[in-house]
Amino acid sequence: MNKIPTPPNYETSIKAAFQDSTLSYSRHPLNEATAEFTILMDLMDAHHIQNGLTVSRIANPVLYSQFCARRAELIKLKCRDSSILQSVGLTEEEISLWTSSQTLKELPEYSDNCALLFHCTKTDLNAVLSEGLDNRKAAQGSLGPGIYFSASPGYSLRYDRFSTIIVFMVLLGDCLNVTQHQSPREPEKAPSQRRNKFDMFFDSICSNDQYVIFNASQCVPLYTVAYNSASTSFPHKSRAPPAFTWSSNGPPQIPSKSWKFDARQVFAKMSSTIVAAGPQKLNLPAVAVCQICTNCPCEWIQLTCSHWFNLCSQCRNELEDGNIFGQCPWCSLIVHKCYGKGSMTTSVIYHRTPGYDSRTIAVDYKLPGSTKRAYFPQTTEGSRIVELLKRAWDRRLTFKLDQSNKPVFIFEHKTSLSGGIEKNGYPDTGYLERLVKELEKYGIQ
């Protein structure tokens, strides 16, 4: 329990989101062929409907930092294991003083009991992903006020308005199994349930499929699962509370078997599958040409994210040197540096954009040795797309270098106000919609 459990490559996603000044969180679409996607489908009992689902990993550095801080706070209050106490920043002297104050040695060692549980919202999905859940807006459910989760995706759907299930990692800690609870905070422990004089409250409560926390920092969103509400239904399986939950009469029993929603076990399975998986185990098709240059003898290689890609040796060297653009086809992780030298500026020009009754936004890219200009209508959608392109620029995802070592656009840009599609200009009625879909593939939305 020394380390917080995380999905494969999550730390890399958190660092990338932290460095992007334009976003509070990043979204990374999951390919259906990955172990991460498959194991999530196992968790949701959703293999029969997975073709209609869009799954993305969410990385929010602020919410993750708050989650880590809350976990460290609870460990310092309740844990006796010196190695775990050391991992959250206590000195040897503090550990000695702290462990000597533990009064009830017979109680089980504290565990954070991190679980993957489901949550839906009727308010603002983007606010939940960017700002987290709000204690002040906590629901008055059957177990009283609190932040509710479920071990059944089907149960969560009754609270959904956006056709999206959010998979949270939830710090359950000392979880009390209850039949009713109406207090707006955690239930108090009996004296016989306290490890020391500071261990006064349970960290969460549960009843059947429902789990309730009272501190929003004890959860962090990790995945979104978007579904078609008209044609998709999730099973609602009633599940008994896990063995680590406490009763009002005493401490929990030592679990005799694993729990399906244990975050550590789920992520360990994802990681071990990724490390072991080669192209045959993933059932990848035989590709005769390089997936970048298309005309060279090639072989399957493992990228830094542990997934597999079909590349020739030259393109592999170019990828590693950052001279050409590349992205893992399975987890969308950027596996090298991208071309982003120079500056990006915008201005409004008084020319009408053909096909739109509006002025035109000019986007200027100044690159070493060259400049490029693109045009967008000054409409609500056009202005929104320009903001998305600013995020792409900040992430160094606007240009790649061609075979002549010259920068070319990764995303489709209109470099002319006339000439239509043939001249890379306007009018082109489907252009903005195409561009939005291109940006979404790279988690920019």
Confidence of residue 253 (pLDDT cuts 50, 70, 90): low
Mean pLDDT of 96-119: 78
Give the model confidence (pLDDT) of 367-393 as tens digits.
888 899 999 999 999 999 999 999 888
Mean pLDDT of 292-302: 64
Looking at residue 329, its pLDDT comes to: 54
Mean pLDDT of 309-331: 61
Give the model confidence (pLDDT) of 259-274 as tens digits.
899 999 999 888 765 4
Looking at residue 199, its pLDDT comes to: 86
Of residues 103 and 62, the one with the higher pLDDT is: 62
Looking at residue 280, its pLDDT comes to: 44
Confidence of residue 335 (pLDDT cuts 50, 70, 90): low
Confidence of residue 71 (pLDDT cuts 50, 70, 90): very high
Query: What are the phi and psi torsion angles at 152 (to 5°)?
Result: -120, 115
- State the amino acid at position 263 in one-letter form: A
Give the model confidence (pLDDT) of 13-27 as tens digits.
787 777 665 678 888
Nearest-angstrom CA–CA distance, 135 and 209: 21
Phi-psi region of 322 (alpha: psi -120 to 50; beta: other; left: phi over 0): left
Confidence of residue 194 (pLDDT cuts 50, 70, 90): confident
Looking at residue 294, its pLDDT comes to: 59
Is the model's pTM score more than 0.75? no
Write down the mean pLDDT value for the chain: 80
Of residues 44 and 29, the one with the higher pLDDT is: 44
